[in-house]
Structure 1
Amino acid sequence: MQWSDAIGKQHARCADTPRIVSLVPSLTELLVDLGLAEYLVGRTGFCIHPRQIVRRLPKVGGTKGFSIDKLRALAPTHVLVNIDENRREEVDALHAFVPQVIVTHPLTVRDNLALYELLGGIFGGDPQVEARSRALAADFEREWAALCTQTGTLPRQSVLYLIWQQPWLSVARDTYISRMLAAAGWDSLPADSALRYPEVDLPALAREADWLLLASEPYAFRERHLRQLAEQLPGARATLIDGEMVSWYGSRAIRGLAYLRHLRARLASSPRS
């Protein structure tokens, strides 16, 4: 049996002991949750969860600009990459010496199910790995159903999800982040954008938004930024949001769905000032 990755490449089940390098933080976490930590031989500096596991792994650089020489020295059998997070030309260079480059690109929230199946299948020589993959899928479906039930009871709202300042950057609706927000009943602004992470006119969009959501990554928004916005945009409602819970797919998505459900409930009960 074979499993197809995001670019349609077929991958057979790994028959020997794998040596895995992950160039995607959320996939590193997923591999650990699948019980594959002992087969991880390398990561990026942004692969920070779970800390007690990944801190022992060699770093090859960032998701972009990683060291080909460091990666080659690890002699990986499999390297995990992502279309959004890694540069294509750098990934293309891996094919010269990596037997299996697994390309991922989850765009919708439910794409996580295919991701669990893909990695659970490729590395499922150990039956426990496949069992963990199925368990993750069941946990995902439970949290998905709970969020959808709540979303059906609340009015849809417009939100401006901010990922950077100077300039102010947000997310387009064809991004994974926006679709996570949509699952909670939040429609991200701008409604139309040719860019996936557009620069926005903050005062103009703030007038359209029910909430301004200041993400913890890639820009680390803090309480002081909320205070600054309160002075700059009186009347606008703003809150901090855990960017990892919204942008990290894989096993983190399960916690992300629960996080959004609780956050949406909290903000729904927040009175307008």
Structure 2
Amino acid sequence: MPVYTDQLGRTVDLPATPRSIVSLVPSITELLYTLQLDEQVTGITKFCIHPQSWFRQKTRVGGTKNIKANVIQELQPDLIIANKEENVKAQIDELAQQYPVWISDVNNLADALDMIEQIGTITGKRANALHLVSQITSAFTKLQTTNYKPQTGYLIWRNPYMTIGNDTFIHDMLARCGFKNLFGNSTRYPAIDTWQLSQCDLLLLSSEPFPFQQKHIDELQPHLPNTKIVLVDGEMFSWYGSRLLHAPAYFTSLLQSIDVTLG
């Protein structure tokens, strides 16, 4: 069997063409669909909501952090795709004792493009993957950043408020939009207080993992009178599979609306 190296540097023995793939990563599930692996993908998580047809039809193997090993056993996968950040290490280590597990580690656009190419290779869809990488690269090359570089906060959670540091994929997306991450001196996902947000010119409230809504803008605005607060599509900032095809157009629209307000 071919031997591949995943994004953690682990060697993984895989069949030349996997016939039963379980994806434990929502954004990668969507990627597998784009790569035309409908018949090969047998299991997904309950958070793999794209595409809707797969969400309705594919076997669900639990959540990203609460995997049901007994369901996976029934599927007898010859490839499991996981992610260093989104899945629980102990659960993945246990699965890796029984099945080939390829682990992704994506912290920026370059990592994402590398991941797409590698997954295309290990699933027999390399040509499709390379075409997708070319399309995404072209779209991001054409993305024009705002002339105004607002001090920006990006919230992913409430109670406590949590933001993103400089070693996250979201941070890289913010930078590509021309936003300056106010919490860029931090790493991963630090908890912060409302008073720290007062330094933001712009505060982005994500739709996931916490589903921020207008009522949360109304809650924060009195404490942040000089800050523009905007709801944003978290999938566009944090999904690092084929969703990246659509991210630059979304960012362009967002930048245009913010330029009107802040420029």
Superposition TM-score tier, normalisation by shorter sequence: over 0.9
Q: CA deviation at 1:130?
A: 2.5
| CA deviation vs aligned residue, 1:23-45 (integer Å, no higher than 9, x gap) | 00001000000001211111111
SS, match of residue 203 in structure 2: strand
Deviation track 1:86-128 (CA, whole Å, cap 9, x = no partner) reads: 1111000012221x2110011111222211210111112xxxx
Counterpart of 1:132? 128
Where does the alignment leave 5 or more consecutive residues of structure 1 unmatched?
Answer: none
Within 1, Cα distance between the matches of 2:18 and 2:122? Answer: 12
Does 2:97 correspond to 1:96? yes
More deviation, 238-247/3-12 = 3-12
Shift in Å, 1:63: 0.5
Residue aligning to 1:59:
60
What residue number does 2:248 align with?
257
| Percent of pairs with identical residues | 36
- 1:199 corresponds to which residue? 191
What is the rounded CA distance, in whole Å, between the counterparts of 1:7 and 1:266 in structure 2?
Answer: 39
Runs of 4+ in 1 over 3 A off after TM superposition: 10-14
- In 1, the alpha carbon distance for the partners of 2:42 and 2:196 equals 48
**Contact 1:160–1:212 (Cα < 8 Å) also in 2:** yes
CA distance in 2, matches of 1:258, 1:88: 35
Q: Which moved more, 1:181-190 or 1:214-223?
A: 181-190
Task: Give the match for residue 113 of structure 2.
Answer: 113
- The answer for the alignment partner of 1:25 in structure 2 is 26
| Aligned pairs, number | 262
TM normalised by structure 1 equals 0.90
In 2, the alpha carbon distance for the partners of 1:221 and 1:266 equals 19
Letter of the structure 2 residue corresponding to residue 114 of structure 1: D
Structure 2 contact 47–63 (Cα < 8 Å) conserved: yes
Q: Which moved more, 1:100-109 or 1:75-84?
A: 100-109
> Which of 144, 148, 154 is equivalent to 1:155?
148
Over aligned residue pairs, what C-alpha RMSD do you find? 1.8
2:232 corresponds to which residue?
Answer: 241
Q: Distance in 2 between matches of 1:114 and 1:38?
A: 24
Give 3-state SS (helix, strand or coil) of 1:110's partner.
Answer: helix
Aligned AA (1:133): A
Q: Which whole-Å deviations, capped at 9, do the CAs of 1:229-261 have from their partners, x for residues lacking one?
A: 223322221000100110110111221232112
Q: TM-score, normalised by structure 2?
A: 0.93
Asked if the contact 1:12–1:122 (Cα under 8 Å) also holds between the matched residues in 2, the reply is no
